[in-house]
Amino acid sequence: MAVRKGKKSKLVFLVFWVLGLLLSWATAFIPRQVEDYYALGFSKLLSRHLSLITGIVPFSLAELIVWLLVIGLIIGLIREVLRKLKSFIKKRPKKEGGLFSNLYKLLVFLGIVYFCFILVWGLNYNRLSFAEIAGLNVQGVSAEELEELEELCEKLIMKANVLRTDLEENERGVLEIEGSFQTVRSLAPLAFSKATAIYPELEGDFGKPKPVFSSKLMSYTGISGFYFPFSGEANVNIDIPASMLPATTCHEMAHQRGFAREDEANYIAWVACNSSDNPAFRYSGTLSALIHAMNAFYENAPDNRARMLQDEYSEGVCRDLQDIAQYWKKYEGKVEEVTSDINDAYLKSNRQEEGVQSYGRMVDLLLAELKAEVGKRFI
């Protein structure tokens, strides 16, 4: 009877996987209710209070937790290897459980984490799309809209060129932000405060974004930032080029406000950055939008048309774009490939069918905004 009871208790823990999957699947059919009661209610309230509490600590609790998990995993593997080796040397009979028992415990632990993730923040993937919230008519990039896409690129290039003119540079001639991340983390909440005049859904008093002290190591994964729902922290890779720092910070803060989809977080970063009084913020948001728009144009237009547009970049914009490309090239490798595959699987598991390519869907929102002329942000 004791054995059966033990098996039943194990099955109870596995139920967390089923509950999490069912909850995620079922709420996908009721986006309006998820929006009203979860995204703008329970989840936002919880994230706000978590971020304010953890914001008291000057370092990233998320980063600390990740390192503790990595260290714990390494210690567990070493102990398992030593135990196996000791049993082999002394020729002891194998104990029940062993490796499979530890793997089962890991599966149970991950099941509980997954269920908590869905409950705390994950259902934000099932809220109304930002296009619906903002009243933007998103149609996507098609052959018929190629002229509009080209117009979008031209406007972003002109704006980036103008904004770049008076910005500070370092000795290599690339953008420099005085005070670096400390300046960015102070100005980003102010940018969001101004953006709420356009989109009230972005309002909220949250903890400031946190720097990741292991940023150089983080760059090997190809990740420039991440949101940790269990602490409400927006974490930023502070080693990335300064031209991308404000846009990346605002992107993670968009996640903090419950906007889970990557394409929407990119668009919200554009909105927030361009709501700022700081020209470096406006430039960073514009440069990020330009990268996405030009990538889409290269995919849909003849190369010569895309290259002609590229010739319109100012020297400063060219240097910044080259700096970004060179930075990430340094960290290319197997770790980045594996992380990208994991991230791709994660996005697809949350019904972002294009996986990593969904980052490019920001262009759809930009095109919709260009047509609607919302906020005149392209001027």
The candidate with the shortest Cα–Cα distance to 297, out of 288, 289, 286, 305, is 305
Residue corresponding to tokens 């005070």 = 179
pLDDT truncated to tens, each residue of the chain (379 aa)?
Answer: 444 555 555 666 678 899 999 999 999 999 999 999 999 999 999 999 999 999 999 999 999 999 999 998 888 788 877 877 777 676 655 555 555 667 777 888 889 999 999 999 999 999 999 999 988 888 766 666 788 889 999 999 999 999 999 899 999 999 999 999 999 999 999 999 999 988 998 998 999 999 999 999 999 988 999 999 999 999 999 999 999 999 999 999 999 999 999 999 999 999 999 999 999 999 999 999 999 999 888 888 777 888 899 999 999 999 999 999 999 999 886 555 555 555 555 555 555 555 444 345 789 899 888 888 664 677 6
Cα 39 to Cα 271: distance, rounded to the nearest angstrom: 20
List, in sequence order, every residue forming a beta bridge with 67; answer none if it has no partner.
none
Residue corresponding to tokens 């262009």 = 363
Three-state DSSP state, 210: strand
What per-residue confidence (pLDDT) applies to 374?
Answer: 61
Is the Cβ–Cβ distance between 195 and 375 less than 8 Å?
no
What residues have CB less than 8 Å from 307, skipping those under 6 apart? none
Cα 144 to Cα 349: distance, rounded to the nearest angstrom: 31
pTM check: above 0.85: yes
Type of residue at 183: T
Is the Cβ–Cβ distance between 64 and 214 less than 8 Å?
no
Is the Cβ–Cβ distance between 222 and 328 less than 8 Å?
yes
Cα 129 to Cα 140: distance, rounded to the nearest angstrom: 14
Task: Take residue 200 and report the two structure tokens written for it.
Answer: 């009230």
- The set of long-range contacts for 16-22, using a CB threshold of 8 Å and a minimum separation of 24, is 16/108, 16/111, 16/112, 16/114, 16/115, 17/111, 17/114, 17/115, 19/115, 20/111, 20/114, 20/115, 20/117, 20/118, 20/119, 20/122
Q: Using CB atoms within 10 A of its CB, is residue 298 exposed (0-12), middle (13-18) or buried (19+)?
A: middle
The candidate with the shortest Cα–Cα distance to 169, out of 65, 254, 280, 248, is 280
Cα 78 to Cα 82: distance, rounded to the nearest angstrom: 6
Ordered by start, the domain boundaries in the chain are 2-126, 132-372
